[in-house]
Chain A
Amino acid sequence: MYRRKLDDKVLSFGHAGILYENSFIMYDRETESLWVHVTGEAAHGPLKGKKLDFMPSTVTSWANWKKNYPLTQVLPGYRRGGFMGTYVGPFQSDILGLAVLVKLKAKLYPYGVLERQNLVNDEFNDAKVVVYYSPDDATGTAWRRELDGRVLTFEQSERKDAQGNVLLRDRETGSLWSWLRGEAVDGELKGRKLRQLLYNPILNDRFVAFYPGAPIFDTAN
């Protein structure tokens, strides 16, 4: 997901049909520059060298998203069905993980590891991050856990919200948090939001190919 505003212009994109390093290239209608998917950078044309800002997003099940954002809208169209529409079952979690980016440096949290420890208070690339994984629908989210200059440490609470979502708690204030929305729903920090990181599900092999040498999370044992 990219922000289309670049400097003072708003670009609109078309599909170039060009395959480059396993990804399709986009073109912008305003200048016909060609844009690379993974980096959001223009590789050719008048805007060559420019980079689009990313917009954070979450891959999850409709059930989970709807519970957390009841006023959400949905893109219409025809269901294709088959593989593309099904959730990620346990047999696939071995080969997938959550790629988390902090200032364009990546770290991989393999789902297989997150199934052993689904809440991680971590630090990489000089940022304190919290990663949460729900095995039910293989959904991972990642947030910066620094707020007002204070570092928060999260744990899973025994509480759930009205929609049945598991809530996290920060040890510093005891506030309760939605891990999908990154927002405190109760306690001293109620209403506050954590900064959302860029994260996306990825095939573990692909992560290693895109980000050679990047760290991969594992539990101590």
Chain B
Amino acid sequence: MLRKSATAWMVAAAVLTALAATAAAQPLGFQAVPRDAFPVFDDPKMLSAAEAEKQGVIFDRDVIIGVAHNGEAKAYPITIMGVHELGNDTIGGVPIAVSW
């Protein structure tokens, strides 16, 4: 009875090791989470300052990443960037990638 379960554990360990080696290996680094696990945003519909505050999306003490270019300004709250991690947007007509 004991011998059978020991063999089962050894087989399981070997299979898992093989799986881990193939699944995790990458040209660089390793696959920490599935691809596209983070919901990257694309050309998001933005809120005005007043709307954002009204919706409770943002408060005075919140930390934001701000970008201003060609007369346009946008704020990306780091709470929300924590959900997306990455997004595609434009600022003042210039396409940008926003990352956290």
16 contacts between A and B (CB under 8 A): A14-B36, A15-B37, A18-B29, A36-B28, A44-B27, A58-B65, A59-B63, A59-B65, A61-B62, A65-B73, A69-B68, A74-B74, A78-B57, A85-B78, A85-B79, A88-B63
How many Å lie between the Cα of A80 and that of B91 in the bound state? Answer: 25
Could you mark each residue 1-43 of chain A with 1 if its beta carbon is under 8 Å from any beta carbon of chain B, else 0? Answer: 1111100001111111111110011110000001011000001
Contact across chains for A3 and B96 when beta carbons are under 8 A apart: yes
Contact across chains for A5 and B94 when beta carbons are under 8 A apart: yes
Q: What residues of chain A lie closer than 8 Å to B77, measured between beta carbons?
A: 62, 74-75, 77, 79, 85
Choose among A2, A11, A60 the residue that contacts B66 (Cβ–Cβ < 8 A): A60
**Residue positions of B touching A, CB distance < 8 A:** 26-38, 40-42, 44-49, 51-52, 55-69, 72-88, 91, 94-99
Could you mark each residue 53-80 of chain A with 1 if its beta carbon is under 8 Å from any beta carbon of chain B, else 0? Answer: 0011111111101100111111111111
- How many residue pairs link A and B with beta carbons under 8 A? The number is 217
A221 close to chain B: CB less than 8 A: no
* Given A61-B61, A80-B82: A74 touches B96 (CB 8 Å cut-off): no
* Given A1-B98, A55-B96, A75-B44: A12 touches B88 (CB 8 Å cut-off): yes
* Given A66-B49, A73-B73, A74-B57: A60 touches B86 (CB 8 Å cut-off): no
Q: What residues of chain B lie closer than 8 Å to A72, measured between beta carbons?
A: 49, 66, 68, 73-75
Contact across chains for A18 and B58 when beta carbons are under 8 A apart: no
Q: What residues of chain A lie closer than 8 Å to B83, measured between beta carbons?
A: 77-78, 80
Residue of A nearest to B69 (CB): A55
Contact across chains for A74 and B95 when beta carbons are under 8 A apart: no
Which positions 68-111 of chain A face chain B at CB distance < 8 Å?
Answer: 69-81, 84-88
A181 close to chain B: CB less than 8 A: yes
Q: What residues of chain A lie closer than 8 Å to B46, measured between beta carbons?
A: 73-76
Choose among B47, B48, B61, B99 the residue that contacts A1 (Cβ–Cβ < 8 A): B99
* Given A1-B97, A20-B28, A69-B73: A62 touches B62 (CB 8 Å cut-off): yes
